[in-house]
Amino acid sequence: MSMQRYGYIIMLAGVVVGIVSLLADYFGIGSGGIQAAQLLGTQFGIVVVLIGYAITRLEDGLKIPSLRSISSMVANRILNTQPYVWFFVTFFGVYLWMFVSPIFLNTDLQMQYFNRFIPHGGRIGMDMRAIVEYIYNWLVLDQSPYASGFIAYPPFALILFSPFLLIGYPAYFYVMTFLTLLCHLISALIIPLLITNRRNVSLTILIFATSLFSYGFQFELERAQFNIIAFTFALLAIYIFHYHPRYRVIAYFFISISIQLKIYPAIFLLLLIENWKDWRGNLIRFASLGFVNIAALFLLGAKTFAEFSAAVRSQQSYGPSWNGNHSIQGFVNQLILDGFGLFPESTLVALRGYSGSIQLAVMMIFLLCLLVIVIKSYHRNEGGLNPYLLLVCTVGALILPSISNDYKLSILAAPMAILAGMLIVSSQGRVLSKTLNGIVLILFSGAYWILQYPFKFKPEILTRSFLALFILLLAGTLLYIFRLRQNVSES
């Protein structure tokens, strides 16, 4: 039977459905008068007629494919779906789950705005206001900037921000806002476009655009923090090192500024490797940068360095934490405290005796993921920027410090944009490997989008961003392994 005949049959069926719906009372199956069900049936009949008409317009000679061929075609399309599609699919899925649902589909049947999802800190710019106060105590009152025993910003950061005393509040908050926006533009858009050679431009722009409204970025701006500024210096150093080797001295200068602002960017030194087999050159580079940065910690003298070290140790041993702390220690502390509502009290009592072991186990998993990429890079002597190593190092910078607040999530946009821009699915390979790659990619992109929303509107198990970061770590490592296998099979 031709497609046209199928179309006419479908049109006839639609007409019958519509007429029966309208004349339901005449046939004795209605309840008197036009009812909502009859109108629904009529609308359905019209839709069926339109579908039938569309089929009649198809070319003659076309055959209806079998269910098996349709299933095979759909499966093949899904398995060969490019990464940017999964990023868009998971973006909309998480958007419906963590934005539309709590705001419009809540049980109160009222629009619930995202309100007070960042802890109230009085006047805006609380963190920078605190830093300026410490600088004031140091320069004007001749007190130690680390007198509180808790602030742990390196001496260079205090020196760098000391001119803020001259312009006062809120002028320095406006300066910090402008610098943060500029650095975010450079790190999350311009550098990814340069590194990826503008592949997957739409995905890069999506990640950048959504990051501007993300929970972490808003938190960074509200507190006048400078994680994005520090990270941008690190990323500029990595970019210059690999793509403009003539200016590597500038790269070393930039990475040192980054480390002296926040310390944790020291982990990005692993990205300053061009030849993994050149042990001597790499050791000299790391030793030189290590010496310079350790020496820079003594800018205000040995006594001030000792006070700074004591403040760092005090922070690392800090026990209490809140939901906005996504560190390993913060996650484990809540796990043994209330188990996120998943475990009975007897289980929690048993877990409390192993909190240190649990933290150590999680750190070992992170180190394993890092070592997998480092060892594979060494054996393959991979040159250039490794986006997977950049991502794993970024996750490490987020989860390893004992206090790591959610404003640091804002630095994730750049490595995600770079990695997403380099992802590609090969048309070759076995069905199983493609299936696993697709599942991991969905978890990977979904975990990132989850991190864009405040913890107040998430399920309890996800209130700590650590779990999503941990999934991002594991999925990113697996994607790297899949990429290596894909390269081997293609070669």
Q: Which of 367, 478, 457, 472 is nearest to 98 (CA)?
A: 457
| Calpha distance 155→313 (Å, rounded) | 16
Q: Cα-flanking dihedrals φ and ψ of residue 325, to 5°?
A: -100, 110
The three-state secondary structure class of 448 is helix
Q: In Å, how far from its chain's centre is CA 368?
A: 21
Q: Which of 122, 124, 111, 4 is nearest to 56 (CA)?
A: 4
Predicted local confidence at residue 18, as pLDDT? 85
Residue 476 CB contacts under 8 Å (≥ 6 apart), including other chains: 369, 388, 391, 392, 395, 419, 444
Structure-derived torsion over alpha carbons of residues 185, 189, 191, 195, reported in degrees to the nearest 10: 180
Predicted local confidence at residue 38, as pLDDT? 78
CA dihedral for 320, 324, 329, 331, sign (positive or negative): positive
- Relative orientation angle of helices 413-422 and 83-95, to the nearest 10 degrees: 140
| Calpha distance 423→279 (Å, rounded) | 30
Predicted local confidence at residue 156, as pLDDT? 95
| Calpha distance 193→464 (Å, rounded) | 31
H or E element in which residue 396 lies: helix 387-399
Predicted local confidence at residue 316, as pLDDT? 76
Predicted local confidence at residue 360, as pLDDT? 95
pLDDT tens for the 491 residues of the chain, in order: 567 777 888 899 989 988 888 777 666 666 666 677 778 888 998 999 998 888 887 766 566 666 677 677 777 777 777 888 888 899 999 999 888 888 888 888 778 777 767 777 678 999 999 999 999 999 999 888 888 777 789 999 999 999 999 999 999 999 999 999 999 999 999 999 999 987 888 899 999 999 999 999 999 999 999 999 999 999 999 999 999 999 999 999 999 999 999 999 999 999 999 999 999 999 999 999 999 999 999 999 999 999 998 888 887 777 667 888 999 999 999 999 888 888 888 888 888 888 899 999 999 999 999 999 999 999 998 888 999 999 999 999 999 998 899 999 999 999 999 999 888 766 566 777 788 888 999 999 999 999 999 988 788 889 899 999 999 999 999 999 988 887 655 55
With beta carbons less than 8 A apart as the criterion, state whether 104 and 460 touch.
no
